[in-house]
Structure 1
Amino acid sequence: MTNFVFILADDLGYADLGCYGGRQPVSPELDRMAARGMRFTQGYSNSPVCSPTRFGLITGRYQYRLRGAAEEPMTGKFRGSTEIGLPPAHPTLPSLLRERGYRTALVGKWHLGYPPHFGPQKSGYEYHIGPLSGGVSYFSHVDRMGKHDLVRNGDAVDYHGRYLTDLLTDEAVSYLHARAQDRDPFLLSLHYTAPHWPWETREQGGSNAQTDQDIRHLDGGSVHVYADMIRTLDEGCGRVLKALDELGLAEDTLVVFTSDNGGERFSDSWPLVGGKMDLTEGGIRVPYIVQWGGKLRPGSVSRQLCMTMDWTATMLDAAGVPAHPDYPFDGVSMLPVLRDHAAEIPRELFWRMKHRSQRAMREGSWKYLAIEDNEYLFDLSADERERANLARRHPDRLAQMRARYDRWNAIFGPIPAEANSELVYTDKDMPSR
């Protein structure tokens, strides 16, 4: 049986890694993973913000089908909510695999609703350690509301002073050792918080007391601090991959690395523009690196369009597990592409955001984008930077893609008027992109 390790970085920019053109030497382990496996250059996240993408990942469906995913983002103010979260009755990647005898673990960030009504163990994970909210201090493990937020199977655990990225890596490696002993098939969801703010490196040793008061500190961080955070993330990924090799698990384990959305202030997304919260390419185009023993052509590169929920369909396809009949996948299995990197699967991708009334669609090399009352049409094969608006030159294509988007959007109904659309900082806090 095939095992699965899904590694999710948080707010990683498209070009932060060397194998995606990164300008700093921060990712030797992930670059080595790409050399051993396959890299996707036209991969996307389900959303340009954290929680909605995670809804898409765990369900294999467009997040817009669930009320909780309308929040941009989901914050600690929803503690105790009976509505804003992942319904425990909804089939998920871990629950479907667990029904087929898989062991399932989430090591890292949950961000899909708070106890007592929601939580990892209510949605298919047998084991969990990590934060329930979004960003937390890397040393004190408090969230943006000032509350301690590190739990093991629902109970608070105190690892004060322990750098969170290293803690999660240690837990993941320990989990792999346990599975190597019992030889049960497994899903390990390793959802790091790095390189999400606060801007703290391992070397700081928790000395930045300001982050315990406001972990979003707008006057903190730098490109150098950010690079060090990625180096530690990369080191952790390398330790996990090494453990798979040493434990004899690598040949039968499909490993996927990606990010939940585009980058933040210090990220590198060249040549893309925009970032987190944007439906421009910098907000939704993310790296995808896949390793699967000797089953993939080393160093292969695919231009196949894909998004987060497709990898749920892919993993379940590899395990021979169908979708629940009442909850068919919106995601599409990428197994044909993994077997032949030159294969092409016709794919349309759609997004919507309450923030700035953004709408987007990707079909082939073309992208339809609308921001408030402005419409754009881009040929991304010639203009990945989205600078040349072809809407007037190709009015028929614009109308066709707008109509196709409208038909898709009608499936889900309007975004609830009361849904949160909160920026971590306002436009006046930061210079324009």
Structure 2
Amino acid sequence: MPRRLTLFTFLASLLILPWLASHTFAAEPSRPNVVMILTDDQGWGDLSIHGNKNIDTPNIDQLAKDGARFDWFYVCHLCAPTRAEMLTGRFYARTGVRGVSTGQERLNLDEKTIAQYFKEAGYVTGAFGKWHNGMQHPYHPNARGFDEYYGFCSGHWGHYFSPELDHNNTLVRGDGYVTDDFTNHAMQFIEDNRDKPFFCYVPYCTPHSPMQVPDEFYDKFAEMNPSMKNRDPQKEQLGMTRAALAMCENVDWNVGRILKKLDDLDLANNTIVIDFADNGPNSFRWNGDMKGRKGSLDEGGTRVPCFIRMPGTIKPDTQITQIAGAVDFLPTLLDFAGIDANYPKPIDGRSLKPLLTGQKTDWPDRELIASRNNQVSVRNQTYRLDNDGKLFNILQDIGQRTDVSKQNPEITKQLMQVAKQYREEMLPRDDDRPFTVGYSANTPLPARDGVAHGEIKRSAPAPNCSYFTNWKTEEGTITWDVEVHEPGQYEAIVYYTCPKENVGVEIQAELLGQKTAASIQEAHDPEAYGPERDRFNRGAESPVKDFKAFSLGTLNLPKGRDNLTLSALKIPGEGAIEVRYVWLNRK
């Protein structure tokens, strides 16, 4: 029997091998990697490829030339909403995001993110930079589909040189200028996963304030009188412009480093690279005659640069004239990667693959929404309807100077109906979500998410990177609205400062009827820092301090919702402590 099988195999090979030799087979295409680069507060005009002669951005310019550039790409007016739309493919008002701080930035837990789709499809996923869609698990990026996370979860940070950062839900110290540091970690992630399909998200936090940038980038702009200025030059603050342009050139240098890493690892031809921004510029500077800036629902606040490169699939110098937006990234990338979406909820985005690959396809007009609180602006291919009911032909009047609503009553009526439907479906919404505790071993509760009572106040008006100070009497308290998911023992750790004269202050943590207290016996009184590195006044941004961890003891917590209350039982000196965090760590 074995001999017959061998003879059969031999005879079969005489017939099959010549046939195989005369036929060629295409190798199964590998799934494309994805590198998505998102800049923070970089306007459409902050690139030399768009005609800004004040700045040189050769790496991003080349990325645009090597792939597709969008003429009309739209995001939201502020950071967290844009991130929500990119992550879900849905208008941000559907996702639970209401603002940029104090919990309003959180993405609802029943939303599925782009990272979760890629992770389920076998991709390795990493994010390196500003998250801004929730800090505590299960809102944390590690719980939203990212295997690796390095950055910060707040909307902005108070210092950009070796700051305190989050590495997979653990506090660490950064290494060098923050944009360079994020890039270093992203490049290491790419190198470590070169033999696997990966999704690498790099959300930079610049040129968002504080306006800090290394000398080698700033020196060029220190005395510059920009040749191109904002359409309303009396509004432009030259110091702010100089700093922003320097930060944008640093971003470009870092984009170039990522692109070179892909080349060096021979990954460029199988990697989709995306570069875009999260809203309009954070100051009045040159932006192509558009009206408005960050925070505005006009063109200048919502139209941003966007470039996509995919060698061999997207032809160089592809120009996309159709309007598109952040909501389109999810369906587009899943389409390119061949991932079956099976969307659990209806999405608002469209796959842009037919446009990017030059397929002949019917592409009906559409409406993209910009909204803020109860204000709504609607953009279709030709027109923008603003919140006041004025209609502008953007193709002829990008500066929004001439209202053409009376000349186009049907279009005005149609877009007003779209705005009305959007308001009815999504605006406004109450937000009664507590801060979640016990979904991970360690839960940070930053000052940003707390509420001060009595004389206690924040270190600065902007909550995101603030700490609580001015705690003078026993009447003052700090509370966090929390819900404990997993019952058990939790160590309460406060991150504090305390001058020598206040040593002996007794601090208590109380939650769900459980209390623990301890007296601080070690002075810790560091100087605030940050503003000395600013190139322009930081305004409402808080300075930072290096806070010290101190255990208040253990709370035996049941499951439930309550206010975590921090109070001072005894103040022997002139005041209590300053507070940056309380961490509840499950034992």
Superposition TM-score tier, normalisation by shorter sequence: 0.7 to 0.9
Q: CA RMSD, aligned part only? A: 2.7
Question: Where does 1:10-409 land on structure 2 (aligned, <5 Å)?
Answer: 10-45=40-75, 47-67=76-96, 69-71=97-99, 73=100, 75=101, 77-78=102-103, 85-140=106-161, 148=164, 150-159=165-174, 162-180=176-194, 183-203=195-215, 221-265=239-283, 267-340=285-358, 345-346=363-364, 347-354=366-373, 357-370=374-387, 374-409=388-423
CA distance in 1, matches of 2:279, 2:105: 20
Q: Which amino acid aligns with 1:237?
A: V
Pair 1:85–1:157, CA change in 2 (3 A): same
Per the TM alignment, residue 18 of structure 1 is displaced from its structure 2 partner at its CA by 1.0
1:150-209 C-alpha deviation (Å, 9 max, x unpaired): 11111011126x1001101111111111111xx110100010001111111112899xxx
How does the TM-score come out when normalised to structure 1? Answer: 0.84
1:274-324 C-alpha deviation (Å, 9 max, x unpaired): 011111000000101111123222122111110001011101111122334
Unaligned runs of at least 5 residues, structure 1: 143-147, 207-218
The structure whose RCO (Cα within 8 Å, separation 6+) is larger is 1
Per the TM alignment, residue 19 of structure 1 is displaced from its structure 2 partner at its CA by 1.2
CA distance in 1, matches of 2:122, 2:369: 34
What secondary structure, in the 3-state scheme, does the structure 1 residue paired with 2:193 have? helix
Per the TM alignment, residue 91 of structure 1 is displaced from its structure 2 partner at its CA by 1.5
Aligned length: 390
Q: Considering fraction of residues, name the structure with more strand.
A: 2
Counterpart position of 2:565: none
CA contact (8 A) 2:89 2:327 kept: yes
1:192-229 C-alpha deviation (Å, 9 max, x unpaired): 001111111112899xxxxxxxxxxxx99432221111
CA contact (8 A) 1:27 1:234 kept: yes
CA contact (8 A) 2:77 2:279 kept: yes
CA distance in 1, matches of 2:340, 2:210: 39
Unaligned runs of at least 5 residues, structure 2: 1-30, 219-236, 434-460, 464-538, 541-587
Per the TM alignment, residue 400 of structure 1 is displaced from its structure 2 partner at its CA by 2.0
1:250-277 C-alpha deviation (Å, 9 max, x unpaired): 1111111000111111543122110111
Which has the higher Rg, Structure 1 or Structure 2?
2
Pair 1:276–1:367, CA change in 2 (3 A): same
CA contact (8 A) 1:90 1:123 kept: no
Per the TM alignment, residue 23 of structure 1 is displaced from its structure 2 partner at its CA by 2.4
CA distance in 2, matches of 1:290, 1:272: 23
Per the TM alignment, residue 86 of structure 1 is displaced from its structure 2 partner at its CA by 2.2
Per the TM alignment, residue 48 of structure 1 is displaced from its structure 2 partner at its CA by 0.6
CA distance in 2, matches of 1:392, 1:325: 41
Pair 1:204–1:250, CA change in 2 (3 A): closer
What secondary structure, in the 3-state scheme, does the structure 2 residue paired with 1:130 have? strand
Larger deviation: 54-63 or 393-402? 393-402
Q: Which amino acid aligns with 2:303?
A: R
CA contact (8 A) 2:217 2:249 kept: no
